[in-house]
A and B are shown apart, each in its own frame.
Chain A
């Protein structure tokens, strides 16, 4: 910010306090948390603006998306931090140091000031990025040495705890680490020990990544940004080949691929495909992406493409000789078809019906992934069912008085009279009473199903909801045909 000291102000419990200060303001002695009135009295020329914590969070979120170009595993660390798991991806840049420089240079180009560090634990990286020298890369296992000179506030402690430690003369992390562990825990609570262990990579820390960390990640950067569809197609093919070569080398296959086109303006266009059986054929994967490429808006150009594989599992080399005898392997025939359809129409539009143990007709069928293993026990052959089942039963009108417990002799449906000549039933299906609170199961939830045939031979599956003699007369519904 040009032209004098600048600060953001936020209201905290009724008091206006400084939320953030720039360098000029900091050199004048202003600090975060100071009362706004005090600050303005000290520095009358201070330029202030209202803080926007929600906007900050949204920007951080956008930055998380942007950082996926570096590694698929990015976690936001509000209010102002990002944690990237770079396990297995640094080699793409030719080393961790080069990666760090590249990332910071790219951020600087977008006028985002940033500091960064690489370490074996999230805690150590956090501390060094804020309190250490910028662009520190800690060699594996050396966290303790590098953290020792840093102040204890670098341990992400509660402010009160940190203040207490400093009062006791324990200002540096090295002093804290030198104390016996049991004493530390007893005197300062388990929080201090936990943070210390996390920083020194002695304890695991659960980070909430936007996407799970995956070593199955490939990246393709372009010296000149690309934007024409043919280039996008070629890029998706090339990157699929890279990742699939690694999958093949380690006998793995993946069930899901996510392709991201990183634009010059920092936004990313993402596409994802799923496979019904794990795969690693680059041509097939590129073919599935191909119809989606036209939806990609390249903006001013695309500078990088990344591909991440998910649901990676071991996949044996195929026995090509066996598949050639007689039947065609599913990998060759039906699996690519299911993938094409599921990716073109949407996954919910391709399915296989499987039996579910419920006697309620609409619940007796569940949708299963087309090539998932068979899990159902099949349907009861002694209960005839219609060929078409309506998602919502349709009301039918019965013009004549009924003999109780008999199916109707005549009914109106879709504007025509149907004369019933044959009928079978009833098959009584009570509602699954355990799905309702006790006391609410009433006869109105009992359905008596009849299979009837009219004088043309058309077949209907009717039911009567409720019983005769109750408070309300029973209603008749048509639930299926055939």
Chain B
């Protein structure tokens, strides 16, 4: 074995410390189930990064189920600071978010005119001290914009949630590689009312983790906990294998 290059060894050690330090104090939102958390580095959705959520089918246009999912997921961040939601269409309905346990009456809503403006507002908000989470509904985040968002997240340890939403009647942009820490695909899933109850059960989502830096992909059906004081936002209903995802993915075209 050749003698190790001392400079190389020193660099490796430095990288290890840097990464180790980053891991050790990395804070996450845990899903509370090893089957999900185990796929994510740090055991949950990493704070101080931005995450991308893409709806399937019409959901990409309405972003209703994905807004509900993200609101549910990010609700615990309200304790850490201010929340800002950047919109292109101001159709977010605060009472509905409150019903999901999200403090929408404290949420600062901003309506931007176009995507570049929405991204600029997100970046500005993420850089602001005292802001815990920023939500943005944009059509596309290109690589440069994505990197800028990531830098902004790191600067103030805020967490970004990008909901990909195309304008009504507009065309969907193809999913591009991005600087997001994770990318999720979201679709609603039929609820199941508790035994002996009528009507609608707690909302469910078919969630698939399509990209994850330093982790593995996966797909699950998650349901919102009914109790307000639940320790975690979701209950895992089922873990989906690849064939399940494939079987569910094509959209039924009828009518």
Q: With A345-B121, A388-B96, A451-B200 known to touch, is A412 a contact of B91 (CB < 8 Å)? A: no
A388-B91, A451-B200 known; A458 and B109 CB under 8 Å?
no
CB A459 to nearest CB in B, in angstroms, measures 7
Contact for A334 among B67, B92, B108, CB less than 8 A: B108
Per the bound structure, the CA–CA distance linking A352 and B82 in Å amounts to 12
Complex partner residue of A352 from B105, B193, B255, CB under 8 angstroms: B105
Distance (whole angstroms) from the CB of A414 to the closest CB of chain B? 7
**Segment at the B interface, from A258-266, A301-309, A373-381:** A373-381
Q: If A349-B111, A457-B187 touch, does A385 touch B95 (CB 8 Å cutoff)?
A: yes
Minimum distance in angstroms from A396 CB to a CB of chain B: 12
Q: Which residues of B contact A376 (CB under 8 A)?
A: 105
**Chain A count of residues within 8 A CB distance of the other chain:** 58
User: Does the CB pair B188–A341 fall under 8 Å?
Assistant: no
Let me know if B236 is at the binding interface, CB within 8 A. no
Cα–Cα, bound, A330→B108 (Å) = 13
Q: Mark A438-468, 1 if CB is under 8 A from B, else 0.
A: 0000000000000111011111000000000
| CB <8 Å contact, B200 and A337 | no
Q: Using a CB-CB cutoff of 8 Å, which residues 380-431 of chain A contact chain B?
A: 381, 383-391, 412, 414-417, 421-424
Which residues of the other chain, A, contact B117 by a CB distance below 8 angstroms? 345
A54 at the binding interface (Cβ < 8 Å)? no
Are A388 and B93 closer than 8 Å at their CB atoms? yes
Q: Are A332 and B121 in contact (CB under 8 A)?
A: no
Inter-chain CA distance A423–B199, complex, in Å, is: 5
Give the Cβ gap from B90 to chain A, nearest Cβ, in Å. Answer: 8
A379–B95 contact, CB under 8 A?
Answer: yes
Residues of B contacting A480 in the complex (Cβ-Cβ under 8 angstroms): 93, 96
**Cβ–Cβ contact A481 & B129, under 8 A:** no
- Min CB–CB distance A348 → chain B (angstroms): 8
| B199 and A424 form a contact (CB under 8 A) | yes
Q: Size of chain B's interface in residues, with CB distance under 8 A?
A: 58
Within 8 A of A (CB), among B87-123: 91-100, 104-113, 117, 121
**Whole-angstrom CA separation of A364 from B94 in the bound complex:** 10
**Complex: A58 Cα to B253 Cα, angstroms:** 65
Instruction: Say yes or no: is A69 at the interface (Cβ < 8 Å to chain B).
Output: no
Do A353 and B107 touch (CB < 8 A)?
A: yes
User: Are A333 and B131 also in contact (CB < 8 A) when A381-B99, A457-B188 are?
Assistant: yes
Evaluate contact between B112 and A349: CB separation under 8 angstroms. Answer: yes
Do A388 and B200 contact each other (CB < 8 Å), given the known contacts A341-B121, A352-B105, A353-B107?
Answer: no
Q: Are B129 and A482 in contact (CB under 8 A)?
A: no
Q: B residues within 8 A CB of A451?
A: 199-200
Contact yes or no, A416 B254, CB < 8 A: yes
**B63 interfacial contact with A, CB 8 Å:** yes
Q: Which of A338, A341, A388 contacts B62 (CB 8 A)?
A: A388
Option from B67, B112, B252 in Cβ contact (under 8 Å) with A345: B112
Tell me, in angstroms, the Cα distance from A421 to B200 when the chains sit together: 9
Question: How far is the CB of A405 from the nearest CB of chain B, in Å?
Answer: 15
Name the CB-closest residue of A to B65: A482
Contact of B130 among A332, A374, A423, A452 (CB under 8 A): A332
Which residues of B (176-221) have their CB < 8 Å from a CB of A?
187-191, 193, 198-201, 203-206
A184 within 8 A of B: no
Q: Which of B100, B121, B193 is within 8 Å of A387, CB to CB?
A: B100
Given A337-B124, A458-B188, A459-B200, A374 contacting B95 (CB threshold 8 A): no
Q: Cβ of B64: which chain A residues have Cβ within 8 Å of it?
A: 386-388, 458-459, 481-482
CA distance A327 to B23 in the complex (A): 24
Query: Is A195 at the interface (CB under 8 A from chain B)?
Result: no
Instruction: Check B203 against A422 for contact (C-beta < 8 Å).
Output: no
Does B59 make an interface contact (CB < 8 A)? yes
Contacts of B92 in A (CB 8 A): 387-388
Q: Nearest CB to that of A364 among chain B residues?
A: B95
Chain A: CB-nearest residue to B198: A424
Known: A349-B110, A480-B93. 6 other contacts (CB 8 A): A333-B81, A353-B94, A365-B93, A385-B95, A451-B199, A482-B67
Nearest 8 pairs of A and B residues by beta carbon: A333-B130, A482-B64, A353-B94, A457-B188, A424-B199, A481-B64, A389-B93, A417-B255
Binding site for A on B (CB under 8 A): 58-59, 62-65, 67-68, 71, 81-82, 84, 91-100, 104-113, 117, 121, 124-125, 128-131, 187-191, 193, 198-201, 203-206, 252-255
23 CB-based A-B contacts, threshold 8 Å: A327-B81, A333-B82, A334-B108, A334-B128, A340-B124, A341-B125, A345-B110, A352-B109, A355-B95, A361-B93, A381-B98, A384-B96, A385-B99, A388-B91, A389-B96, A390-B91, A412-B255, A414-B58, A422-B200, A422-B201, A458-B59, A480-B93, A480-B96
